[in-house]
Structures are given as structure tokens and as C-alpha cells.
Structure 1
């Protein structure tokens, strides 16, 4: 038996209710965006508050400020540089405070690279300041000059300014100088172990000697131990000098040393610049 067209297109009450609910849900979905916008209007950004926040950040040094615009570059050594000078170079208060805390804890800048390692110094700051930093590029590097160096008062860095003298030669020269008490003539540099003749010839024009800076030996107070470092005397000679004084009393003049058989005129002339008789 076939269904009539009327019965085929009929809708039950349950189906009709479901259709109504579906239409309501579709309407809600379409209307929802408009309802949401009406209750959540976009808030306008307060530019004044934003600018104030940026200003506060600049005060902490966490963002770049306009201090570099008024910076006055000059050649400087960063060690113990006053805060006012750092400010002239364009650094913020926080950057300066970080550097001063580093120094207060015993920190020292030996080269430009040391300043570059400071976390408070940005890459831009370092690039701007590097040409004015009065320090070598790297630790251990010393700029060579044509200046004449007084050898009895120079430290290793001063000696290393002479072309041909590196840290190794500088240490050898100072070590031997300290044993002698100082140099009284340039030719004594030939006695420095490890210093070759070619280097000697190269450095001689840039060295001068001040005999007044020689540390002399008081022969009437010297002991065998105090004489032990002096390179011109052997053990037997040191012992003889002390024993002669013990037996005959203080030395009155340098010539008294001639009474010691193992001290000849050649040695006497060699040690004369180092002897004092008080």
C-alpha cells in the first residue's frame, strides 16, 4: 500500500519542536558577534601613561636614553674615572653605578676588552667609546714607542715599550737588576741570561742608566745570606769578606778588601759601584 503525498510531507510535533530549536540556535550564532561588540568596546590607549612608563624605564638605564646625544668624547682611562666624567661620556646613572660597584670590589681594567665585558656597557656604547679608551686592546699588549727608558726605575710595562723587549725579556732584565741592585752602565745588560746580542744592539739606543738609583750594600752590616743574591761574588768571596770584618773590625775604605787574597783589582772595580761603608 503506497503513502499519500499528504502523509509523506507531514511533520510530527516532535520534529517541529526540534526544527524551531535549531532555527533559534542559528539566529543566536548570527547575532552573537554584534552583541559581544556592543558590550566590549575597544578602549583607547592613554598615550600620556605610555610616555610616562617609557620615561621611567629610561631612568633605570634599561632602555637607551638621549644621554649619548649630549655626550662629549675625550681620551680617558676607565680606572677610577669620576662619575661626572662617565656622565660626560654619555653613560646613565645605572651604568656608572655598575662600574663603580665593580671597582669597589677590587675590579680593574687592564685592557679595552675588560670594559667590553661589563654587562652594563652595550655593544653600541663600547663601539662609541673604544677609540677614546686609554688602554691597550688586549691584556699583555703594550704599545711600542721611541721613548728612552731609565732602566733602574722602569717596571715591566715600561720596558716593554721598547721595541724588541717583550714580557719575557722584561722579566729577565728586572730580575737581574734586582739581584745587582741596579745597573751602572748599559753594557751590563750583556750579562742578562737569555738576552741575545742582536736584541741587545736593538734596545741600547732606547735605554739610559741613572747610577743614583743603585741600591748599595753596606759592607759593615752585610751577612753571607744578604750577599748571596749579589751575582758578582762567589760563596768563598762572600765568606771571606764577612770573616775578615769579624777578625779585623769594620772596613774603613774600599781598599781594605785588597787584603783578602781572593779579591783582586778586577773584581774590586766591578763591585765598587755597589759598595757602601757607613
Structure 2
């Protein structure tokens, strides 16, 4: 039997309508059967949830709170269908699932009142039915107990040196420095940082250049004759490397860099004597730390 063109068009149209109906049914069933989590709230998802929500709630056209249908549930593990049956609004369900996807957890029933759009009366309806798994509660309690123990546990005091003890100025670390009377973590770090910026101490008196250290601090240090400071190659160092040295100011560093760019390598301190920014005392202090090679 032959089929007319009109009949063929009708059959194609019926097939398309059937396919569309199947797709719509799958979307609607998702709110029932989704045992994992919904995607973020887009228009289609919210529409689907809205239909399911309508089936489980009664509308108040005057805008009053919707009466929920509470039953025991765990907000950390309930699926979308369960949350719909409680009577939560579709966008609230979507936000709850998004919060969980991002690692959020409700640690107690009272935490549920943070849910955006949940009124006080609705929270009071749901609160007696909230069930939080012990595993989710325990994380909070263990952390609180750990913090409490840590805060009340006395910190061991660092034993201080008796008078006459000394430390090697160029190798003592912050732990050793804290044994000096009057030196804690802050000042120990300042000493080590200053030593690193210098390139090493060539005299224990340099330790006294650090601000706010206790009086007489230098008596706790000694130098090894084998100690040699780290030198800066003045003609090859960068501006940043030069200006970081405690004995070079910003203006002095600019002069060095400009001189090298205009006149070539600096061969000795004589090349810098004509600049008013440098004094003989500057050259004396810098001498152990600068190389002209």
C-alpha cells in the first residue's frame, strides 16, 4: 500500500511529538529518582522542581509561609526528591545541593537556619526532624577539643644561657639565638635576616646595628677566624641585589648603576669618590662586601 505525502508528514510529526514527550517525562522524573545531586539552578531545572514542589505543597496566594510537610531527614545526605517532599522551594533545594557539592556541611540542626529564604517559622517546623550523622558532628567536636587542649597546654619555655656562654655569630640559627636572655622568636629572626642581607658579620659590633636589641647583646657572640663574608660583584649585581645590602642606600645604588651604564665598570672606590653621596666611612664599611671583579 502506498502512503501519500500528507500521511507521511503526519507520521513524522507524530514521531517528533512522541520524542519530545519522552524527553519531558525524563526531566520530570529526575526530581523523583535523582539519588545524587542536581545541577546548578537554571530555568529548566527550576521549572521541573516547581512542578514537583506544587504536588507536595499547598499554595498561599496571600504570600504567607507555605506549610511544610516535615519528616525525619538528613540535610547532608537527603536527595532532591526527599527535599522536594518536605515542601522546600525549588531554588532552595538547588542551593542546598550546590552547597553540599562545594564541601559544605550542616553540623547541627541549628545550622539549617542559615538556609537562604527559610523563614523562622519554617525552620521551627523542620528543626525537630533534622537528623545529623555522627560522622558529620564529630569533625566539629574533635576540632573544638583539639583547639581547647592546644590553647590550655603550657608552652615549653626556652632555657636561657648563663652569663659567659657564647654563640658563633655567623652560623647560629634562630633556635640557638633564643637561648640568649632577652631574645625571642622575633629578635632571633631579625638577627638572622640582617646577617643574610649583609653577607655575614665581620665584627660582633655589627649585631648592635639591629634596632631594639637588648643592651650588651654583642657579648653573647664570637667570630671564627675562618669566617669570610659573601661579596657582591658590584659590576654584575642587579639594582635589587645592591639596594638590599644594609650599607647601600637607594641613592647610592642609583649612582653605581648609572655610573656603570655611562662610564663602564667600576675598578675601585676611587671611581665613586667624586660623588657626594659616598663618604670614606661608607667605603670602609663596604670594603669587605664588594668585589670589583
TM-score for both structures, normalised by structure 2: 0.42
Q: Which TM-score applies when normalising by structure 1?
A: 0.45
Q: Over alpha carbons, which structure has the higher Rg?
A: 1
